[in-house]
Chain A
Amino acid sequence: MRERPHWRGCGRLANARFMTNSTVPASPEAGPINPGVGELFLAFVKVALSGFGAALPWARRMIVEQKRWMTAQEFNESFALAQFLPGPNVVNFSVVFGARFAGVPGALAAFLGLMLPPLVIVLILAVLYARFGELAVLSRVLSGVVCAAIGLLIATVAKMAKPLFTRGWDWAPLIALAAIVGVAILRWPLPYVFLGLAPVSIALAWFRKAAP
């Protein structure tokens, strides 16, 4: 009776770590190692604390390469859903991933693991900002940092745009441009711009697919 929980709690984790060792060949019969609720929580804590800006590469590394909870293909398919849905992508993914292995408790564990540590850190920063935000020194530092943060965002956009252009999506840049003009230049509310553009874009994608 005492053996089993011990094996579940520690053995699997130890085993998963052991298997990442390149000297140990992974046996194809072994199948996926199903994580428990505690492991899910800890795994997403680690993902949350490793990633700045983009948590996705860290989630992939942890889940596919280190723990082998999913194959690369499974990860891509699961993530595609989270990415396609509105809202925070990695957060959506944590819920889908946690639920897949441990139902609702798993979804909650993954979500809390991903959100709680960054929340604590960011709130400490918020308290400091509320107290010292008026200081010219801090204000100047943040003025510099925000310029870099914009640059990071531009790199993200460029990485997203690359496959669109190589795939030869003639209309895609026009849709993106219309969204930019509507939201950033005309400053229309996001729901209006989205509801105006999304149906057009989806229809174009539908008919393009039909074309030979």
Chain B
Amino acid sequence: MSGGGNVLLTMAGYFASLSLFAFGGANAAIPEMQRVSVDVMHWMTAKEFNDTFAIAQMSPGPNVIIVALIGYHVAGLPGAGVATLAMCGPTCALAFVLSRVWDRFKAARWRAALQNGLVPVALGLIAASVIVIARTADHDLVGVAITAVTAIVAFTTRLNPLWLFAAAGVIGLTGLV
């Protein structure tokens, strides 16, 4: 929390550059956020990062909101604002500019190759998030069972995930996890 301006600048630069590699959305950037927040910058513990992830997933709206929570943890309200704008600004500007020319290349072979080629990378990055979070969270059978049941229910039904979170929270409350 010391040297407010410096921390804000560091965060702005970090999230802005991270956003440019976050193919697959905010969930693809989770392992990198965890690596930097916990291992490199020591902004928070692994458990605090997992709590942050859980709170972000429980909240309505885009998943990217996790960066506001990390920013808040590091530098309060200004931190939340800076982290959110840094994570959204560059790619939104890119999207804004590209949307005007993108349709022109609809039939281009490079466009198809670019789009198709990036899908498996994005998929791998999101799958990596699962492992990184699970490493600290799923440390017993009950935890693994909650994860497995949620995965199956969310994959096969259209139940609102909030119900699954509520059930998991109650199980957590009993101290079984």
Measured CB to CB, the residues of A under 8 A from B are 48-53, 55, 77-78, 80-93, 95-96, 99-100, 107, 111, 114-115, 117-119, 121-123, 125-126, 129-130, 133, 137, 139-161, 164, 169, 171-173, 175-180, 182-185, 187, 189-191, 193-194, 197-198, 201-206, 208-209
**Do A157 and B114 have beta carbons less than 8 Å apart?**
no
Residues of A within 8 A of B22 (CB): 86-88, 190
**Do B102 and A81 have beta carbons less than 8 Å apart?**
yes
**Do B87 and A88 have beta carbons less than 8 Å apart?**
yes
**Residue B164 is within 8 A (CB to CB) of chain A in the complex:** yes
**Do A190 and B18 have beta carbons less than 8 Å apart?**
yes
Bound CA span A4–B156, Å: 49
Residues of B within 8 A of A190 (CB): 18, 21-22, 29, 31-32, 125
**Do B164 and A151 have beta carbons less than 8 Å apart?**
yes
**Residue B133 is within 8 A (CB to CB) of chain A in the complex:** yes
Contact of B124 among A77, A146, A176 (CB under 8 A): A176
Residues of A within 8 A of B73 (CB): 126, 130
**Residue B63 is within 8 A (CB to CB) of chain A in the complex:** yes
Contact of B68 among A48, A111, A119, A175 (CB under 8 A): A119
Residues of A within 8 A of B60 (CB): 48-52, 117-118, 121
- B84 to chain A: closest CB distance in Å? 7
Residues of B within 8 A of A175 (CB): 120-121, 124
Bound CA span A80–B161, Å: 25
**Do B59 and A154 have beta carbons less than 8 Å apart?**
no
Residues of A within 8 A of B175 (CB): 140
**Residue B129 is within 8 A (CB to CB) of chain A in the complex:** yes
- A144 to chain B: closest CB distance in Å? 2
Bound CA span A82–B23, Å: 10
**Do B88 and A91 have beta carbons less than 8 Å apart?**
yes
**Do B69 and A126 have beta carbons less than 8 Å apart?**
yes
**Do B55 and A142 have beta carbons less than 8 Å apart?**
yes
**Residue B137 is within 8 A (CB to CB) of chain A in the complex:** yes
Besides the known contacts A144-B176, A180-B128, 13 further A-B residue pairs in the complex with CB atoms under 8 A apart: A48-B62, A87-B26, A91-B92, A115-B61, A122-B68, A125-B59, A125-B69, A139-B47, A142-B50, A142-B54, A148-B161, A150-B134, A151-B164
Q: A123 with B160: in contact, given A150-B133, A155-B150 (CB under 8 Å)?
A: no
- A48 to chain B: closest CB distance in Å? 4
Give 1 or 0 for each of B10-38: 1 = CB within 8 Å of chain A CB. Answer: 00000001111111011101011001000
Contact of A126 among B25, B80, B119, B138 (CB under 8 A): B80
6 A-B pairs with CB atoms under 8 Å apart are A80-B115, A87-B19, A91-B62, A146-B133, A180-B131, A198-B117
- B138 to chain A: closest CB distance in Å? 6
- A156 to chain B: closest CB distance in Å? 7
**Do A86 and B150 have beta carbons less than 8 Å apart?**
no
Q: A49 with B61: in contact, given A119-B80, A148-B167 (CB under 8 Å)?
A: yes
